[in-house]
Structure formats: C-alpha cells, structure tokens
Structure 1
C-alpha cells in the first residue's frame, strides 16, 4: 500500500519523518542513528499506527546498516571493505533521505537490505 486510505494528521507525518531524519544525529552523537529514531518511536508508537510503522522500519534499517558497517569495517583488512564501506555510506544516506520524503508525503516505505528485527 503506497497511500493510506485514511487521512493523516500533519504531526503524524512529521514524527514519521523524524524517525528517519534523526538517523543523521549519528554524525554528532555516538549511536545517534539508532537512539534518535528509537526515542521518537517509543514516544509516539502508541499514538499513531503510521509513526509506529515508520519508527520500526527506521530502527530495522539503522540496526541492519550498523551490522553491515561492522562487517564492512572488518573487511578493510582484505581491502574490499574500503569499497563496501563507501557504498554502504552512500546507500545509507540515499535511502534515509528517500524514506524521510515518503514519510512526509504520508506514504509507506520499506527500506531494501533490511533485517526485520521489529515487526
């Protein structure tokens, strides 16, 4: 489903978008890419299905990419990790921005390459 059949309040869209955008707090705060979305999700998950869905999706993606980043860092020892680290970083930024835009439009978004820890 791409568009919700029921109307969404602009606050729901904003909090859903924040679930994705707060991943960029990881540039400033250690583990911020996971902590930021986690805080919004925990505060708003019971108030909105839309925020709950986007929060879980963001958390799944951030945790998955943290795992991929650790593996990629280990692969630097055999040089391929340099290429995979750069590729992961570019994909992470691009997919996070796309998810943020979709949330602000009131649409569902499923990240690719994501392990579903929260369902």
Structure 2
C-alpha cells in the first residue's frame, strides 16, 4: 500500500493518496507516513500549477513561461512519484525533495 500511495499520486494527484491514507492510516504506520508524505508532495505540485497558471496572466512572459512550468510540474510529479513508489516497495521511508510539509500528524 505504501508503494500505491506514491504511484497513484503520479496519476491522480492528491485524490488517490488521500483515499488510501483515509482507509489504511490506522492499520499501518508505514502507510500512514507515506500517505501523508505523498499528499504533502501533491499539494506542493498543485501549488506549483497555481503559480504556473498565475504567470500566464503576465503579458508575453507568462504566455511563454506557463506551459514550460506546467510541463516541469507534470514531469517532476511523475518522476518523484515513481521514485517514491520504488523506495516504499523496498520498505524504505521516502521523503520528497521540495515538498511542503503541510500535513503533520
């Protein structure tokens, strides 16, 4: 399940990790921790999308930069979700780089 929360995050953003975390958090401390980590990263990615969208409002610069920022956010999300899934599959606690730790205990 720890692996699944990361991999689902790469596809469903916060929805998949949230559902698994809500269902399994009381059964496994590992899934509770990794679900929280995956959700924190997905929230960070969503904030990145919001910033990219906001840059789109800037004349010329934003219209050139926003698609690049969206692409970076999507690719980073997929890469780090796969890395998190692989580490969790080995039973290793994975910490996303650049993730805001908004959801605590």
CA contact (8 A) 2:41 2:99 kept: yes
Matches within 5 A, 1:23-102: 23-26=9-12, 33-77=13-57, 78=62, 79-102=64-87
1:111 equivalent in alignment to 2:91:
no
Partner SS, residue 71 of structure 2: helix
What is the CA–CA distance in structure 2 between the aligned matches of 1:62 and 1:71, rounded to whole Å?
14
What is the CA–CA distance in structure 1 between the aligned matches of 2:65 and 2:15, rounded to whole Å?
29
Q: Which runs of 5+ in 1 are unaligned?
A: 1-14, 27-32
Which 4+ stretches in 1 moved above 3 angstroms?
A: none
How far does residue 93 in structure 1 lie from its aligned partner after superposition?
Answer: 0.7
What is the CA–CA distance in structure 1 between the aligned matches of 2:47 and 2:76, rounded to whole Å?
14
What is the CA–CA distance in structure 2 between the aligned matches of 1:25 and 1:96, rounded to whole Å?
9
Q: Let me know the Cα RMSD of the aligned residues.
A: 1.3
Q: Between Structure 1 and Structure 2, how many residues are aligned? A: 99
How far does residue 25 in structure 1 lie from its aligned partner after superposition?
Answer: 4.1
